[in-house]
Structure 1
Amino acid sequence: MPLGLLLLWLFALGTRFWGLSRFPTLVFDEVYFARFGRNYLAGVPFFDAHPPLGKYLIALGIWLGGGFHPWGYRWMDALLGSLIPVAVAVLAYLLTGRSRVALLAGCFVALDGLFLVESRYALINVPLVLFGVVSQILWLWGLRYRGRGRSLWLIAAGMAFGACVAVKWSGLGFLLGVGLFWLLQRQLPLLAEGKTTYQTTYEWWQMCLLLPLVTFVVYTLLWWPHLQFHPHQSLLELHRQMFDFHRSVASTAHPYCSPWWSWPLLLRPMSYFFQKVQTLSEAVPVIGPPLPMEATRWVYAVYALFNPPLLWLSTLATLALFPLGLNSLAGRFVLLNYAANLLPWALVSRCVFIYHYLPAALYGFMALALVWEASHAWGVWARWARLAVLTGVMGGFAYWLPLYLGLPLTPQAFFTRMWLRSWI
């Protein structure tokens, strides 16, 4: 297991750092978040629609990376993003006690395209997911202890939950997931599997008082540096402005808006960067009017696109796990967290995007790993099915890799990878 985790991390690290400075321009929401990070260092006030922790981390990267340039504002996300597959593997191991399931779940995350893309730019979904997974690792780890030790681990989990919500409010989905799991465990307890030892769960005062209190306190304290640049605004006023902003965004405010139910089907990914050139020696971005497509010889494109075979298979696996999953501890945890990170979006009327599915998707990948493990009892034919799954996932990663790394493609090669009309 330790060697497997090391190799998994090195693979994730390499794919996220290779060519990290490609495109010496602000890509997608870097026009906001990278600049906000620089504003913290320069002491410039600004309005942001999200809590501040993600931009603190970008600012730290700029400061440690030697200035406001692509490497400086991107490397922190790349480092944090390389840790997500490892964290998911650890979470899966705590749930199942099986190294094979854990490493497979981590590999699925490492072979996904949208997790890779988000890790290569100065965006804030990567720290959101990392803090969310770490908080659940700490929460599960605390179940191995009794008495004061359990409360201390719960406090650590609450600190991580607070950090998660301090990146984006949608981080509350991770907290909701463990809350639903705790409630169901109290009403219909299940013993853990494999080498895990979760024979009891938290007391009501720990979950209903201690955990929310620690989460709230940490979340509030993390606003303190931001408030130093906005001395004339209260924390309550800032939250009112943020809420009003999100409420004012129309459901059709952006051409890449996509309804929540479409995310598991991968109907509407997003273009983060697109540039047409005539030669590979041209500087990118090109200054001047865009080329017509018929005069274009090469395109550079970065797409917020999950690994299609992996996502579709994980959606099927989640559906397949549902009838029996609630009768196993790992399946129960995965399904409840998948629902907690997806279904609340049905209540949101503003424009939402495919990257909002990232937290739910990682539980879909874990569901695929659980179904994979269960298939070993299905007979010889399942061996070929497992081989086909691995081939499809690795083949999909390799095939769409140019769209994840922004490598040059001919227009024909680009459109060949647009499998659905809605992807364009």
Structure 2
Amino acid sequence: MQHDQLAESGPPPTSPPPISPSPTSAVGALIGRALPGDRLRGWLVAGVLAVVGGWVRFQNLGTPTDPRGTPVFDEKYYAANAWQMLRNGWVEDNPGFNLTVHPPLAKQLIALGEALFGYSGWGWRFAAAAAGTLMVLMIVRIARRLTRSTLLGAVAGVLLICDGVVHLMSRMAMLDIFLAFFVLAAFGCVLADRDQTRERLAIAVREGWATESNYGPRLGFRWWRLGAGVALGLACGVKWSGVYWVAGFAVLVVLWDVTARRAAGVAHPWLGVVRRDLVPAVWALLLVPVLVYLGTWWAWYASETAVNRHLAGDTGSFLDIVPAALRSLFEYSTDVLKFHETLTTPVDKPHPWESKPWTWPMGLRPMLYFLDTAATGCGEPKCVRATMLIGTPAMWWLALPMLAWALWRSVFRLDWRYAAVLVAYLAGLLPWFLNVDRQMYFFYMTPASAFLVLGLVLVLGQVLGTAREGVERRGTGLLVVALYIGLVVANFLWLWPILNADPITEARWQAELWLPSWR
């Protein structure tokens, strides 16, 4: 009889059954802090700061130029490339120029400005200034979503306006501000996708069907993730270094999907991500960027005279099933990759403003884009006009402490916000250590600037504290944050003349050069 009872009841359990989280706790873990309810005010703050940022970027945009009214520094390549595109069907068709070494998208955007305002400083810089202005709008909204605070969103906007790197690159006909724009847009899409995914899982938990399968529910089409893929493809269409953020953001999305399913009480969150999310993620964050990138070459495919358009001929092998245009693009890209990998500074003629990536976080080696030591207008017989790419020290000199704190919070507090910013920032820095012999410049850090701002904003949010910590604590935190913002604004205003080529005295010029490495 005892044997029959044991047979009917089955073997004794070897471990206690898993305890599923209650629906209330699971929803709380998924949603966390809700977005602020002041939606209208949030958009008004973002709009006002974008207008301020636009005024700062666009004022006197046509200055400086070389004495003949021509572009300065590397603008001379991209402004000319863009003007050539206007004349030749949106493609570069001068192989003798020998410097067609980046995808076409950013140069086409520069060409739009030239189509509006002609071959002038306003023309070749208009698109960059527009991108830099829109970045202010985006970072306010992104920081608000990241911190759940409209105030901290506004702080992010002010800091980005006052960053010397983003400011100057928004006023130059170069490529990196467009890369920064699309990378930041992709980051915003990834954040929105995280929130949307967790909201859908929270609904499943409330309605009781989140754990009907050991792998969790299907989450439907994720438009924000698709948006991230499109933005990343456009980033690669500006510069190939956009691929670093493709990899970084793909890792973030997968990890966030796993933690979301775990918070919802799914029995096998990793297998759930593999079965439910991995294929759509590969499609959205790998195939879509590739397709969008290839699409940015649309004018090149349609042209008969574009550079290297007919580079590949018939091979007599199975490779001929690939369209000749794609094979030509592959061979063309291979040649360009070799150019970049072997771009080194001659030992006997080093570039005066080259720098290596270990100097970039603190901006220890800025770049002089323009210098006129025979200017007038400063009230003295001899004046100086200059533009120098330099990160506002009140922000950039805190980069290493911010990164260390972000790493600590990510590892020991599992703070996803710091982890997201850390991944995005390091994607713009660490890959450059793989080939330190090649020629490198500080302006490569332009896309990372926004993530420096977001990291600082997260720290300022902790300094600010919350209402639950008491009025006195909150008041002290607000005072510290306000003083820091005032310091950043004052530092930016001090640098203003050498960011905008305003005439200054020789003494003031020397006073602007704080470190020996700035000279």
TM-score for both structures, normalised by structure 2 = 0.73
Alignment partner, residue 344 of structure 2:
250
* Alignment equivalent of 1:81, drawn from 132, 140, 143: 132
C-alpha distance in structure 2 between counterparts of 1:115 and 1:392, whole Å: 18
Which deviates more, 142-151 or 409-418?
Answer: 142-151
Asked whether 1:238 is paired with 2:332, we answer yes
Q: In 1, Cα distance between the equivalents of 2:392 and 2:404?
A: 18
CA change 1:150–1:216 in 2 (3 A) is: same
1:42 pairs with 2:116: no
Equivalent position of 1:286 in the other structure: none
Indicate conservation of the 8 Å contact 1:158/1:211, yes or no: yes
**Structure 1 position 208, deviation (Å):** 2.4
Counterpart contact for 2:181–2:447, Cα < 8 Å: no
Take 2:151 and 2:481, find their aligned partners in 1: how far apart are those partners?
13
Q: CA deviation at 1:187?
A: 5.3
Structure 2 distance, partners of 1:3, 1:240, is 47
Partners of 2:254 and 2:127 lie apart in 1 by: 36
Aligned CA distance change for structure 1 residues 345 and 125 (closer, same or farther; 3 Å):
same
Q: 2-side partners of 1:31 and 1:296: how far apart?
A: 30
Shift of 1:182: 2.6
Q: Which moved more, 1:311-320 or 1:50-59?
A: 311-320
CA RMSD of aligned residues (A): 2.4
Structure 1 residues 278 and 79: alpha-carbon distance in aligned structure 2, compared to 1, 3 A threshold:
closer
> Which residue of 1 is the match for residue 74 of structure 2?
29
Whether 1:213 aligns to 2:287 is yes
1:275·1:301 contact (CA, 8 Å) conserved in 2?
Answer: yes
Q: Are residues 1:53 and 2:94 paired?
A: no
SS at match of 1:310: helix
Kept in 2: contact 1:158–1:214 (CA 8 A): yes
Q: 1:191 to 1:273 in 2, by over 3 A?
A: farther
Deviates more, 1:47-56 or 1:141-150: 141-150
What is the one-letter code of the residue matched to 2:126?
A: W
Moved more, 180-189 or 344-353: 180-189
* Cα 1:256–1:406 shift into 2, 3 Å: same
Structure 1's 392 and 91: CA in aligned 2 closer, same or farther, altered over 3 A?
same
Task: Tell me the alpha carbon deviations over residues 120-152 of structure 1, each in whole angstroms, 9 at most, x when there is no partner.
Answer: 121111111111111222233234155685333
Contact 1:315–1:364 (8 Å) recurs in 2: no
Name the % identity. 28
Go from structure 1 to structure 2 and tell me whether the alpha carbon gap of 1:53 and 1:148 turns closer, same or farther (over 3 Å shift). Answer: farther
Give the SS at the match of 2:354: coil
**Does the 8 A contact of 2:250 with 2:285 survive in 1?**
no
Q: Structure 2 vs 1, CA of residues 22 and 124 (structure 1 numbering), >3 Å: closer, same or farther?
A: same
- Separation in structure 1 between the aligned mates of residue 139 and residue 251 of structure 2, nearest angstrom: 19
Q: Which stretches in structure 2 are left out of the alignment for 5+ residues?
A: 1-41, 201-217, 264-271, 312-327
SS at match of 1:274: strand
Task: Show the counterpart of 2:29.
Answer: none
Q: Is this contact kept in 1: 2:180–2:448, CA < 8 A? A: no
AA of the residue aligned to 2:370:
F
Say whether residues 1:64 and 2:112 are aligned partners: no
The answer on whether the counterparts of 2:169 and 2:446 sit within 8 Å (CA) in structure 1 is: no
- Deviation per CA, 1:292-345, whole angstroms, max 9, x where unpaired? xxx971011000111111111344223223211352221121112122221111
SS at match of 2:429: helix
Once the two structures are superposed, what CA deviation does each residue of 1:252-292 show, in whole Å capped at 9, x if it has no partner?
Answer: 652211111111122100000001115339xxxxxxxxxxx
Matched-pair contact (CA < 8 Å) for 2:246–2:286: no
Per the alignment, residue 460 of structure 2 pairs with 372
Change (3 A) 1:322 1:70: same
Whether the aligned pair in 1 keeps the contact of 2:234 and 2:292 (CA below 8 Å) is yes
1:30 Cα offset (Å): 1.0
Aligned counterparts of 1:107 and 1:205: Cα–Cα separation in 2: 40
Q: 1:359 to 1:105 in 2, by over 3 A?
A: same
Q: Normalization by structure 1: what TM-score?
A: 0.88
- Matched residue of 1:166: which SS? helix
- Residue in structure 2 matched with residue 196 of structure 1 by the alignment: none
Q: Distance in 2 between matches of 1:150 and 1:251?
A: 49
Native 8 Å contact 1:165 1:171 kept in 2: yes
Q: 181-190 or 136-145, which moves further after superposition?
A: 181-190
Q: Report SS of the residue matched to 1:265.
A: coil
Distance 1:173 1:296, change over 3 A: farther
Within the candidate set 323, 330, 347, 2:417 is matched to 330
Q: Distance in 2 between matches of 1:213 and 1:27?
A: 38
Pairing partner for 1:405 from 500, 504, 511 = 500
CA distance in 1, matches of 2:375, 2:425: 44
1:262-411 alignment, distance < 5 Å: 262-277=359-374, 279-280=376-377, 297-326=382-411, 327-349=414-436, 350-377=438-465, 379=473, 382-411=477-506
SS in 1 for 2:406: helix
SS in 2 for 1:255: coil
Structure 1 distance, partners of 2:262, 2:169, is 37
Q: Displacement, 1:159?
A: 1.4
Deviations 1:334-375 (A, max 9, x none): 112122221111113311111111222221211111111111
1:203 to 277, 282, 296: 277
Contact 2:131 2:170 (C-alpha < 8 Å) held by counterparts: yes
Q: How many residues align?
A: 403
1:139 aligns with 2:194: no
- Match of 2:370, SS? strand
Residue 398 of structure 1, CA deviation: 0.5
Who is 1:417 aligned against? 512
CA shift in 2, pair 1:96/1:387, >3 Å: closer
Letter of the 1:357 counterpart? M
Shift of 1:403: 0.9
Per-residue CA distance 1:89-137 (angstroms, 9 max, x = gap):
2222232322122221222111111111111121111111111111222
* Distance in 1 between residues matched to 2:229 and 2:288, nearest whole Å: 5
Are 1:58 and 1:77, in contact at CA under 8 Å, matched by a contact in 2?
yes
C-alpha deviation, 1:406, in angstroms: 0.9
Confirm or deny that 1:90 pairs with 2:90. Answer: no
C-alpha displacement at 1:13, in angstroms? 0.5
Amino acid in structure 2 at the alignment position of 1:45: D
Secondary structure in 1 matching 2:440: coil
| Cα distance between partner residues in 2 of 1:9 and 1:360 | 20
Equivalent positions of 1:119-134 (< 5 A) are 119-134=170-185
In 1, the alpha carbon distance for the partners of 2:457 and 2:343 equals 37
CA deviations over 1:389-409 (Å, ceiling 9, x no partner): 122201110000111111011
Residue 184 of structure 1: CA displacement? 3.4
